[in-house]
Structure 1
């Protein structure tokens, strides 16, 4: 167990340049202690405030925590606390989120007295390490998801693919596995209501996930269902709503079981009913192999089992939208680098349109901090943020006997029109059959559509 001692923070005159630190190995760092002090002027802090330098400091700190080097971990945490205020620029705020996560991880390893002192060294910094995520009302959540294309991109691409796939069907059974609590559905209802052949009956099945993953809603799924049914009625669309309590921790097995028998009856009794599986940023919460190798035999990957189960249902279409990053490594430093080089994007985007005092910005960044803490501060079954890149999901879908289908030019045009409503940094690119949302040229979210082979 790592024991954190009451080592005093270095004084300002004990300066060791960060460039020298990067060129040193661990033994050299120990020989040149006390380290690190740093100058107090903004100009002298410039190099330490560089994103690459902050990333290196975070990696060094993570390695120190993992190797039980409490003294070095404390010193680096102290530096990070001083150069990464929570109200700084986007890089500083991002680093502050990782700092909190490392403190939470280190505190589990031993006495955290020193860590508390470090965290509170700046009165405006991390006075409370607990992340207080906001519970949204329906109106707040709808406004929240409209802030950026992060979710709207997936909504627009998925709805376009779904509408094409269910054309001519009198009944649409949609299974919605969505992180955003059915916020995609009203737009789909609006589009279906204006269908030339008349609106179909919509049967909406929702997995009432048991995990508290942000964004969180302040009403029950039953209340949400009532609101959706009433909204559909206002558009002259008939809707049935069903919620099935189910957990991503076992691959939504109870949901799959509930779907199997009714779907068999549907296939024999109503040839015009379409089964739509809509997966919006939810499947990466299903455990994957790096966890299963510890908890279960490697052959029992819940992701593989879930996708095979979907294939057995013979759906009309499966839409898979998720974030294009890899948070699965069992190596903490590797996972930290991957998360740092992806999660700068949401921090950077909010600087373009939300003032610092905005409540929406606070909610937005709190949700990102929750993700950072889960990726960095937790392990095993408690680490649920296990993003995989698009290439790996594509291979998973193919292995489960699905084939990708291309988005039509009309769908691409709709996505482009939606992006025009947002900041100029957002872009769209096509990769084979798939669509990818970008920010300043960097992949952010992908949208794929699949049918059984």
Structure 2
């Protein structure tokens, strides 16, 4: 089990001074860089394999890049390049992702010309995210409970909330392209009083944020409606072009409009389903306005599922530390179900690398990964005049049963009214449900 401590940042010379300076340069992206006196031999490089040491090297490198110390940055990157192999253990692969992200940041800043040239000349730094078919994506999200936990918890509370309604309007803000809903359709298809008619309104996801689909949302909607018909469930599917960058303002406008096609109809159950997308809203003002607008719609229930971490700091080093001490989890879990070198593992880790690069290399609206801890969202929902709804024993039982399909390291925590997915005791994803207060 990997453990990460809040180790104080040591001076760089303290970490490397005990190593020999007799270095044989290999052919690598940093072959032009001559290591400073005191940098390790190839044999001694193995001593840097500890996760805490790798984290400190990354922090030193980030500080060097931010202070435009190109010489120091290049020397640290040389060490990192030799210890952080893309096909090594989970620590090494995690660090390789951050190495790639730091070089991308240096290239974007443009102040370290040598690093910029390295980034442009090294094809190994290019991210290749896979475009999934619907079948591939469905299998992909089933690999771990990372998404299935939220799907299962949300579907359980939604199915309970819509009892007695003949029409259900679901507004979906999800990063997984409606992969949640086949299971929900199956869940309600055999309702004793007959299944409700479902109006599904989807905010179109950003095209370049993984996972990426290889078909349009219109094609996706057609497939989903066909599936619903096979279960004797009526389904309307709508996509509203809307952006997280303005807090989904156009989506809200159309929901509150008098347009009977898009607006919320009288007597309908209104479900707001937020699965790992609200954190992309870039400003606190927009987040507050979005929740207040949703509150004004008097929804039947709001489900909020997201990753339990904090990527919001404006300080690069703080952000790097937080991301490093959270994103070791998917690298650690992937070894439980993928063999080294498999195509599926490459797809999985490319998506994690995209997230790392977005957190580290980008600022402003380009940085969409702005995760916040559960406590922050709980307070924000309360401020917007929502009250938490506890998950029923049946819902908890369903989540526990789902986790039985996965490795023993996955666990479930109950924190007040909320559910939290954990890996080896570390919080991963939280699920919360809310009613208008």
TM-score by length of 1: 0.87
Identify the match of residue 411 of structure 1 among 395, 404, 413: 395
* 1:114-133 mapped onto 2 (5 Å cutoff): 114-115=114-115, 127-133=123-129
Mapped contact 2:16–2:38 kept (Cα < 8 A):
no
The equivalences for 1:68-87 within 5 A come to 68-87=68-87
- Alpha carbons 1:210, 1:246 under 8 Å: kept: no
2:84–2:92 Cα contact (<8 Å) kept: yes
Q: 1:234 to 1:36 in 2, by over 3 A?
A: farther
Kept in 2, the 8 Å contact 1:419–1:427? The answer is yes
User: Which residue in the other structure is 1:9 paired with?
Assistant: none
Once the two structures are TM-superposed, the CA of residue 18 in structure 1 deviates from its matched residue by 1.9
- C-alpha distance in structure 2 between counterparts of 1:186 and 1:268, whole Å: 23
User: Residue 288 of structure 1 contacts residue 302 of structure 1 at CA under 8 Å; is this kept in 2?
Assistant: yes
* Separation in 1, partners of 2:143, 2:65: 37
| Contact preservation (8 Å) 1:17, 1:38 | no
Structure 2 contact 87–93 (Cα < 8 Å) conserved: yes
| Partner secondary structure for residue 246 of structure 1 | coil
Alpha-carbon offset, residue 384 of structure 1: 1.0
Aligned ranges 1:180-191 → 2 under 5 Å: 180-191=176-187
Deviations 1:35-63 (A, max 9, x none): 4521222xx33330100000000000001
Distance in 1 of aligned mates of 2:92 and 2:262: 54
Match of 1:45, SS state, is helix
Aligned length: 410
State the match for 2:278 in structure 1: 283
Q: Distance in 1 between matches of 2:259 and 2:433?
A: 21
- Written as runs of structure 1 = structure 2, the 5 A alignment for 1:248-327 is 248-262=244-258, 270-271=266-267, 273-289=268-284, 301-327=285-311
Alignment deviations for residues 150-175 of structure 1 (CA, whole Å, 9 cap, x no partner) = 00000000000101111111000001
Relative to structure 1, the CA distance from residue 309 to residue 120 in structure 2 (aligned partners, 3 Å threshold; closer, same or farther) is: closer
Aligned to 2:3: none
**Is residue 137 from structure 1 mapped to residue 133 from structure 2 by the alignment?**
yes
Q: Which runs of 5+ in 1 are unaligned?
A: 1-14, 22-32, 290-300
The answer to whether residue 175 in structure 2 is matched with residue 179 in structure 1 is: yes
Q: Distance in 1 between matches of 2:230 and 2:404?
A: 29
1:355 aligns with 2:339: yes
Q: What residue is the counterpart of 1:100 in the other structure?
A: 100
Aligned residue for 1:452? 436
Aligned to 1:222: 218
The CA distance in 2 between the partners of 1:19 and 1:88, in whole Å, is 22
- Structure 2: any 5+ residue segments left out of the alignment? 1-11, 19-34
Write the distance in 2 (CA, Å) between the matches of 1:336 and 1:217.
Answer: 29
Distance, in Å, in 1 between the alignment partners of 2:292 and 2:430 is 21
Report the equivalent of 1:37. 39
Instruction: Quote the Cα distance in structure 1 between the aligned partners of 2:320 and 2:175.
Output: 23
Deviations 1:413-439 (A, max 9, x none): 000000000000000000000000000
Q: Note the 1:400-439 alignment, pairs <5 A.
A: 400-439=384-423
**CA deviations over 1:52-95 (Å, ceiling 9, x no partner):** 00000000000111111111111101110011010000000000
CA distance in 2 between partners of 1:53 and 1:266 (Å): 54
Cα distance change on mapping 1:58 and 1:241 into 2, 3 Å: same
Contact 1:81 1:118 in 2 (8 A): no
- CA distance in 1 between partners of 2:417 and 2:436 (Å): 15
Structure 1 residue aligned with 2:6: none
2:158 alignment counterpart: 162
1:149-207: CA deviations, max 9, x gaps?
00000000000010111111100000111100000000000001011111010000000
2:208 maps to what in 1?
212
Q: How many Å separate the matches in 2 of 1:60 and 1:426? A: 33
TM-score using structure 2 length: 0.90
- Asked if structure 2 preserves the Cα contact closer than 8 Å seen for 1:210 and 1:245, the reply is no
Cα displacement (A) at 1:381: 1.3
